[in-house]
Amino acid sequence: MAEIAGSAQGMAAITTADGRPLAVALRHAERVKRWKAFFLVLPLLLFLGVTFLYPIALMLFRSVENPVVADNLPRTLAALESWDGEDLPDEAVFAALAADLGEARENKTFGRLATRVNQELSGTRTMIMRTARRVARFEAPFKEAVTAAHPRWSQLETWAAIARLGDRYTPIQYLAAMDLGYDVQGNIVAQPESRQIYRNLFLRTFWMSLVVTLACLVLGYPIAYLLASLQARYANLLMILVLLPFWTSLLVRTTSWIVLLQTQGVLNDLLVWLGIIGDDQRFQMIFNAQGTVVAMTQILLPFMILPLYSVMKTIPQSYMRAAQSLGAPRFYAYWRVYVPNTLPGIGAGCLLVFILAIGYYITPALVGGEDGQMISNLIAFHMQKSLNWSLAAALGGILLAGVIALYWLYNRLVGVERLKLG
């Protein structure tokens, strides 16, 4: 301890050319170095924040935001606070509804209101649109006038839906994304079987992504091993063939699979020409889940080969020779010595392919048909056709949670520090 204290005092006694203590100068230099490094990566941090983190945060916020009903029916929601939910609301609620609908018609926002309520309770868009157009002619008692405008105002489930949608922030879209909903009493219940879509689609998405990942691993592992084992000139030629699909548009590659796999396509024609099948026994290999898996496997295969190759290239060949010299058979040495060293590449390739697969859109949309659609196609439908952006955001949020859970599981089982992409 005395020696350490003495050395510290000696360093403090040493000064730089400008008279500052050496220890102070070193701390200042380290601080300046850290700030320089920070400002060098600052543009990248800003780019990631604007193009990656902010859209994700906006998506998660949109999935729970629910302002339409609260903005258009403030008086009605205030009057419904004392409603017990067992009988129809009293006259004051119907009077408040007439006033809110009249104001919404003047502001030309009753169409958005009708769409939002209809998303929660099918068939209510016509009810709100018709009532809003007639509300100027309503006179007291408003309860009779409103119920006469449309019979669904006499149903408890209509008022229960409006009361639920009054919250500005609600998890209702996440419940809808899991095929759940509320009953009249406010209990969470499963949707009728005929309306259960999303859970099955999530299961199909994860299952097909897993199949594509395993197929890429089975096909890509020997190719990567061959690339790592060949001489440089042959390995470079083979690497060009691996990278060649990147030089072709994804849309072109997907469309090519339609030409190859369709009933009157190249593959079926070849099988008929070879006499393996008859002309009336052609295989249906397109517009189904099988066609989607085949096309996605070919498209995502390079993403499995490259991480595997980058890891295999660093494994010395002397490991195998040393194991064989100690008496291990070639396959045993390969399985016990070589394969464990490739686990970082396997993990990186599987994670990369799986994450890309669960979010794929173009390939399932073109070659998937009804059986090969994935959750990304339904997210696009809600973004572009139904305009239910909140539900699309909730579906995306669940998909994001699945990816994070997969990453956590990989970290627990393998360790993220062993992940190598190159």
Q: pLDDT tens digits, residue range 84-110?
A: 888 889 999 999 999 999 999 999 999
pLDDT tens figures, 263-276: 888 888 888 888 88
Among 96, 134, 120, 230, residue whose Cα is nearest residue 183: 120
Which helix (H) or strand (E) segment holds residue 306: the answer is: helix 289-312
At 189 the three-state DSSP class reads: strand
**Domain residue limits, the chain:** 2-54, 72-162, 198-418
Within 10 angstroms of residue 54's Cβ, the number of other Cβ atoms is 11
Tokens in use for 182? 């509320």
- pLDDT, mean over the chain: 86
pLDDT of residue 10: 52
421 pLDDT exceeds 70? Answer: no
Terminal Cα distance for the chain, rounded:
46
- What is the mean pLDDT of the segment spanning 404-416? 78
Q: What is the pLDDT of residues 187-217, one digit of tens each?
A: 888 888 888 889 999 999 999 999 999 999 9
CA 153 to chain centre: 38
pTM of the full predicted structure?
Answer: 0.82
What are 11-55's pLDDT values in tens digits? 456 776 666 787 777 888 888 899 998 899 999 999 999 998 999
Identify the pLDDT of residue 77.
93
Confidence (pLDDT) at 291? 87
Tokens matching residue 250: 């994804």
For residue 151, whether the previous peptide bond is cis, meaning omega lies within 30 degrees of 0, is no
Rg (CA), the chain: 32
Q: What is the structure's pLDDT at 422?
A: 54
Distance between CA 273 and CA 261 in Å, rounded?
15
Report the amino acid identity of residue 256.
S
Phi then psi dihedrals of residue 15, to 5 deg: -125, 160
Using CA atoms, how far apart are residues 205 and 203, in angstroms rounded to an integer?
Answer: 5
**If we measure between CA atoms, which residue out of 338, 270, 353 comes closest to residue 306?**
353
Confidence of residue 417 (pLDDT cuts 50, 70, 90): low
Q: How confident is the model at residue 305 (pLDDT cuts 50, 70, 90)?
A: very high
Mention the CATH class of domain 198-418: mainly alpha
- HSE (side-chain half, CA atoms, 13 Å) at 217: 19
Instruction: Dig out the tokens for 5 from the structure.
Output: 């204290």
* 248, 381 Cβ separation under 8 angstroms: no
Average pLDDT on 356-373 reads 85
- 47-81 residue pLDDT tens: 999 998 999 999 999 999 999 999 999 999 999 98
Residue 190 is inside which H or E element, if any? strand 188-190
